[in-house]
Amino acid sequence: MSGKYTATHPQYGYLKSETDKNQWVIDPVAAEVVRRVFRMTLEGYGPCEIATILQADKVPGPSYHLAQNGCGSRKNYDFTDPYRWYGSTVGYILERVEYMGHMVNFKSYKTNFKDKHRKATPTDQRVIFENKHEAIIDPETWKTANRIRQNTKRHRYDSLGEPHPLTGLLYCFDCGSRMHNARGMTSRGKPQDHYYCSKSRNTCCTLHGIHTDVVKELVLETLRKVSACAQENEAEFIRQITETCAERQAVDVKAQRRKLASDEKRRDELDNLIQRVYEDFVAGRISDKRFAVLSAEYEQEQNNLEQAIDKSRAEIDRLDDSTAQAESFLELTRRYRDFSELTAPMLHEFVEKIVVHERAERRVHYTTQQVDIYLNFIRQYMPLETETETKAALTDRQRKRAYQREYHRRRRANGGKPLKPERTPEQIIEDEIARKAHVREYQREWQRNYTRKKREAKAAAAQATAAG
């Protein structure tokens, strides 16, 4: 509790200072490997893939590297494969808050002094001392990497053998489930690359299909416009973020406060219930088995409520600080100047999630579809002039589709019969004259062809008779 290091050896990526044994300093070699692990995570690689790449590049494993420096629990171990990496090792590196410069104590405990096995301490019961040593990874990169890891996803590889960066970010609007990627060749030999709702195959939801290229184009265009607006006038951008988010945040904060008050009230009620159950047990009014079941249920519910309360408080703190979120987004835009191509790190650092609505018309090739893009720190934000341009920009294809929709609506109202165009009397007379002229010209052309063919047949017969 005094803030001193209790570990016998430092975390991989650090060394003990030669002047002060209670201080960690950065190990340049191992720190570069840690940065590479986080960088590859932002690019969309999983822990097992990262471990395979590090092993192929002959990067020494953490245990072997620590043993080479004379520390670690395996410094006297004979390594048969010093370059062996495991996916669990990479996951362990990604979870460590020590790389942000913090020190964590009380990570494990024993039930009593006779116990030979240590148990992991719950995360909320550990003691964290911030800024105790130099950081290897900045907090935003650490949070982004761990947020990517929480999005459990199935990798579908393309011909280049790379995971799709959008997988894990797209969600269905109606059911809220993640969308799966379909990529490859169809049964007709045509390439396909689109996303669909994961619950559409078991008829729990509709398809919500959308092409991957369309999503990439929408995300890239959104990032270009929002980043340009943020960089042109930072003060105005912060003001707009604060104003546009104020009303939405007020509603969200009010809902979170109601949920927090309800959870705290239920938690206090559980304390009273546990006390009454214990009194009934002591008085002999309930059996031992019944007491064990009730107390276990109440304690489990109380633990869940404690987690929900901590989460609600953290969410309220996040929603209250909109100015800090706008400044964090500005710092992110300064790191990216080129938005000509959508890369995996850019996608994961800027985009929180993408919500896809159902198509306006199903079973048609061209139609409209709403896509909500939520950005990190600022959620949904769109400059007013950009929203006006989006509403006014109707392509010729969209106008054609609108005309076709209106035509088919009128045709269904007409019993499915083709619609006759409305014409004036002058147009009817002109069309009739043109029709008769076309019929006469067709009859003349047919008569000329008939006469010519008859003449050719007669000449051919006469020639055959003379030759015979």
Taking residues 167-192, what's their average pLDDT?
A: 82
pLDDT at position 88: 92
Number of domains in the chain: 2
Range from 102-116, 306-320, 441-455 carrying the lowest mean pLDDT: 306-320
Q: Are residues 177 and 146 in the same domain?
A: no
Give per-residue pLDDT as tens, 20-70.
Answer: 878 889 999 999 999 999 999 888 888 998 999 999 999 999 989 888 888
User: To the nearest whole number, what is the mean pLDDT of the chain?
Assistant: 81
- Tell me, yes or no, whether 5 lies in a domain: no
* pTM > 0.75: no
- Tell me, yes or no, whether 128 lies in a domain: yes
Instruction: Tell me the three state secondary structure of residue 409.
Output: helix
- Tell me, yes or no, whether 165 lies in a domain: no
pLDDT at position 333: 78
Q: Are residues 125 and 198 in the same domain?
A: no
Taking residues 289-310, what's their average pLDDT?
A: 85
Q: Are residues 145 and 180 in the same domain?
A: no
Query: In angstroms, rounded to a whole number, what is the distance separating the alpha carbons of residues 156 and 167?
Result: 9
Query: In angstroms, rounded to a whole number, what is the distance separating the alpha carbons of residues 68 and 193?
Result: 48
Q: Are residues 103 and 178 in the same domain?
A: no
Q: Are residues 24 and 145 in the same domain?
A: yes
| Rounded to 5°, angle at Cα 196 from 191 and 200 | 130
| Rounded to 5°, angle at Cα 353 from 123 and 94 | 35
